[in-house]
Chain A
Amino acid sequence: MADLTTEFLGITSPNPFWLASAPPTDKEYNVRRAFEAGWGGVVWKTLGADGPPVVNVNGPRYGAIHGADRRLLGLNNIELITDRPLQTNLEEIARVKSDYPDRAVVVSLMVPCEEGAWKDILPRVAETGADGIELNFGCPHGMSERGMGSAVGQVPDYIEMVTRWCKTHYDRPVIVKLTPNITDIRYPARAARNGGADAVSLINTISSITSVNLDTFSPEPSIDGKGSHGGYCGPAVKPIAMNMVAEIARDPETLGLPISGIGGITTWRDAAEFMSLGCGTVQVCTAAMTYGFKIIDELTTGLNRWMDDKEFKETSDFVGRAVGNVTDWQYLNLNYIAKARIDQEKCIQCGRCYAVCEDTSHQAISISQDRKFEVIDEECVACNLCVEVCPVERCITMAPLPIGAIDRRTGTKVSDRYLNWTMHENNPLTKVAE
């Protein structure tokens, strides 16, 4: 049985699954129940500066995108940071941490962009005995308009500056939580590292409008007939989050910077994928908000079995394993040639592959009188569209042509030579070999 115990920035937790800073971690009651359910750690719901707490809207704060059978695919929210008094939160954090010393308790913070504000709050957080802090530079709504959250996260200089203040006034690990609402995620990550961050965590939510009510013409969730962009999260954002994680993991300037992965993690498989892209821990919000804390049982047992199957003893055995395989398009091997293959035994003759290839791809699938669908190798460019639209798993697969075989589309032999775009004759920038 693999060991899920995770050490991240010197913080140990019995498993790499933390609850992200959000409603599931908003108060002692929730966090205790999460720990009882088996979660490895929490990032406490973001605290703000002392004084009158923020106020949330009093109408709906969530919108969603649903798939078949109302399966929640994407969630959007216009909630702010905690709306409970600072002192209450700090007392609860201290109590929980002392009762659960083996779990990770990290405190998320968002205070104005002035050194004094950070200097005030950090000692009080340190007193709670929490394991570290996470700087919320990500919240895309409400707080950003007050010069906090993503308003800071979108300006690398501010990130660096605030991170440095925190490193100066606090002696435990500092994690910088990044906003995805930016063109190139590497810049804020580099800024965090330059400011001395111990790790980055990503992603926070993506600015979004989930739907428009076609009767009232108000965006949803609608507050008295008006809507505001909210933050998008859940399964739908996973691909975006993973790309950003990978960009940071393979950036020479941030190489080795620990990452806590967040964004759409719903199953053990999602977690394993994030971790293989370099995340030492993963954080979950929407999945818990959709199914409750109990999913932790599936997450831990699932990751455990997969690790056993792969003979990984501990999570560090596979964290970052996929990073080396993430590359730029221009380095992909253009001499790798595949063709779609349809397993006639599995085919149920829906004809979706035919419709899409014929209408939108390369006219590379034929249909016979008796609805037999076959790939025309002369036309197939191996785009994979048919594979993705086929409702039967593994009915259509992509088979690489062996070296030396003839690609019937181009009439050329499959070469064993690695050839990428930088070397290709059609590339105007390719230097002629001397």
Chain B
Amino acid sequence: MKPGSIASGISRARLSLEELHQNFADLHSPFNQHEAVVAADRCYFCYDAPCIAACPTTIDIPLFIRQIQTGQPENAAQTIFDQNILGGMCARVCPTETLCEEACVRHMAEERPVEIGRLQRYATDRVMQSGVHPYIRATHTNKHIAVVGAGPAGLACAHRLALKGHDVHIMEQKPKAGGLNEYGIAAYKTVDDFAATEVDWLMQIGGIQLTTDCMMGRDVFLDDLLKDYDAVFLSIGLGGVNALPIQGESKDGSVNAVDFIARLRQIDDLTKLPIGRNVVVIGGGMTAVDAAVQAKLLGAEHVTIAYRRAREAMSASRYEQDLATSRGVRLMFNVQPVAVYGNDRVAAVEFEYMQTDDHQLRGTGETFQIEVDQVFKAIGQNLFDVPVNVAVTDGKIDVTDTGRTNVPNLWAGGDCARGGDDLTVTAVAAGRDAAEDIHAVLMVSGCS
């Protein structure tokens, strides 16, 4: 055992730079041409293929796979981008095991679906690496649209609007565009600064002005935007973090998982990122898994995900769970934290065993403690600071199928609005569909 991994407390450089590079390398290596053709050959070109319906952006999957098979990944990429301009990112981060690949008939036949995600990456990489942006804007419409938030929803909306000839102004509070693609997604899913590369590639369409470090509610205000632009699209994601309502949760060493991940994603040198020897992650979603896996990859000795319900209720897919356990993360189910102990820093977490009867979660009274140096809270994000006149239900902005809110000329989509699944791909679909609707409305009404 390396001295690094058993150094007590929270410590940096538990692993060498080389080990860290290895650990944070591409989760799935890209296909080479032969691998892609072999994988493409497995597609049956199904009638009314179930995978298409299972893709939130309804990419014509059998068509793009056939285009790869016949030696034209460029056409395949076009098929993908027509539906999903962030097809490159989605190919890397979509939980395909619960989307297209789950619907693949070969999954039913032999539990080995066609590797749609990796094929999608093969095609999109080919085009993006060539630097070509395969779209030309329509004639200028002289319409101006404001997009608030440069995550997947905002970017997809902006691109589609620009394509139609509109002028788009994206306002983003952070120093970089990309939203959670840039600050949230696990590092090993989007290596080599792919998120930023993708944004640059997408912006080549032209007609999109991006202002970073520009926060709605501080630097600009919705009322003004509605006055100054023909339409506004809100794609502000979920900026808030759910609080853990237990004693001691704010002690040193207890942090929000999303903040830990954002820091990890932005740091240049991973040996500079400190991590605990004993880490506990509280939660059961993708964020919990990503925080736990990356803690482990940084060299933490013991990492435990503690989830208050049973395995089946966990929102991270079985594939994600297995990824965690394969990296040495321990999964605990039916345990809920009741208190965090320690003098000024966290030292232990006390958990209670839980039972779920009739969907009602209740404690059993039996408790135990885990020694910790670091606690990551990953019990969900929430909508942060929406202007009061925008209608919200259950913590999400009310929208129609095409993203219209209760406020005239205001659309919303992505994680901040109802109807998605809190996934990159559903955010893209929402942005794209809202853009189509905005276009339809603006071109009919002719309002300016």
Contacts and interface: CB of A to CB of B under 8 A. Distances in A.
A351 B47 contact: yes
Nearest to A371: B50
A392 B109 contact: yes
A355 B106 CA distance: 18
Interface string B74-118: 000000000000000000000000000000011011000000000
Interface stretch (B38-46, B217-225, B270-278, B363-371): B38-46
B108 A351 contact: no
B45 A348 contact: no
A293 interface: no
B44 A391 contact: yes
Contacts of B50: 349, 371
Most buried by A among B38, B44, B47, B105: B47
B344 interface: no
B66 to A, nearest CB: 13
Nearest to A349: B105
Interface residues of B, number: 15
Contacts of A354: 47
A137 to B, nearest CB: 39
Nearest to B45: A352
Interface size class of A (residues with CB under 8 A): 10 to 19
A69 B35 CA distance: 9
Contacts of B357: none
B48 interface: yes
Nearest to B44: A350
A348 B48 contact: no
A352 B47 contact: yes
A350 B38 contact: no
Interface string A41-72: 00000000000000000000000000011100
Contacts of B38: 68-69
A392 B105 CA distance: 11
Contacts of A355: 47
Contacts of A351: 46-49
B108 A348 contact: yes
Contact of B109 (A69, A70, A348, A371): A348
Interface in A298-351: 348-351
Nearest to A392: B109
Contacts of A350: 44, 46-47, 105
Contacts of B48: 351, 367, 371
Interface string B345-356: 000000000000
A70 B69 CA distance: 12
Contacts of A69: 38, 41
Contacts of A392: 109
Given A68-B38, A69-B38, A371-B50, A352 B108 contact: no
Contacts of A352: 44-47
Nearest to B108: A348
Interface string A68-82: 111000000000000
Nearest to A351: B47
Contacts of B44: 350, 352, 391
A116 to B, nearest CB: 54
A348 B105 contact: yes
A351 B48 CA distance: 8
Contacts of A349: 46, 50, 105, 108
Interface string B26-65: 0000000010001001101111111000000000000000
Nearest to A66: B37
Nearest to A358: B47
Nearest to B46: A350
A70 B359 CA distance: 53
Interface string B108-148: 11000000000000000000000000000000000000000
A349 B46 CA distance: 8
A70 B41 CA distance: 10
Interface of B: 34, 38, 41-42, 44-50, 105-106, 108-109
Given A68-B38, A351-B46, 20 more contacts: A68-B41, A69-B38, A70-B34, A348-B109, A349-B46, A349-B50, A350-B44, A350-B46, A350-B47, A351-B47, A352-B44, A352-B45, A352-B46, A352-B47, A354-B47, A355-B47, A367-B48, A371-B50, A391-B44, A391-B109
15 contacts: A69-B38, A70-B34, A348-B105, A348-B106, A348-B108, A349-B46, A349-B105, A350-B46, A351-B48, A351-B49, A352-B46, A355-B47, A367-B47, A371-B48, A391-B44
Name the 8 nearest CB pairs between A and B, nearest first. Answer: A351-B47, A68-B41, A355-B47, A348-B109, A350-B46, A348-B105, A350-B105, A350-B44
